[in-house]
A = this chain, B = another copy of it.
């Protein structure tokens, strides 16, 4: 297992398709950026979500989403999605997100998503042991850092 990351940053370029007629990014696209953020956090942490689905039949189904929008994102801007794991249980994983505009580090949005471990057929299941141990270790490591 790689050393535990406090968070992981990924940079996204805003697409024209993501804007709406207000001239800003349509709000639901932030949820898609969250997805990019957590997949890349997991990859950086040594997990390959694609394999989790195919090899372990472990799907992180979205159970809850929350997002606060502070400032709009605009076409062609470079956006940083900062993701961290904020909670983990036997069959639950919760990610937190901060979305920044790269140019001036302005905070555009904050949010979190809660995921339940499910099989392909939709049935809830515990995380496979190899993942569970690591998720719990990440959360423990992060709690310790906070406590310091």
Contact surface of A with B, Cβ cutoff 8 Å: 13, 15-17, 19-24, 26-29, 31-32, 35-36, 39, 48-50, 59, 61-69, 72, 75-76, 120, 122
Contact = CB atoms under 8 A, between A and B. Distances in A.
A68 B75 contact: no
* Interface SS of A by simple majority: mixed
> What is the oligomeric copy number?
4
Given A24-B122, A27-B65, 8 more contacts: A17-B26, A17-B35, A20-B20, A22-B61, A22-B120, A28-B28, A48-B76, A64-B69
11 contacts: A15-B32, A16-B21, A20-B20, A21-B23, A28-B31, A48-B76, A49-B76, A50-B75, A64-B67, A65-B65, A72-B122
B62 A27 contact: yes
A75 B26 CA distance: 13
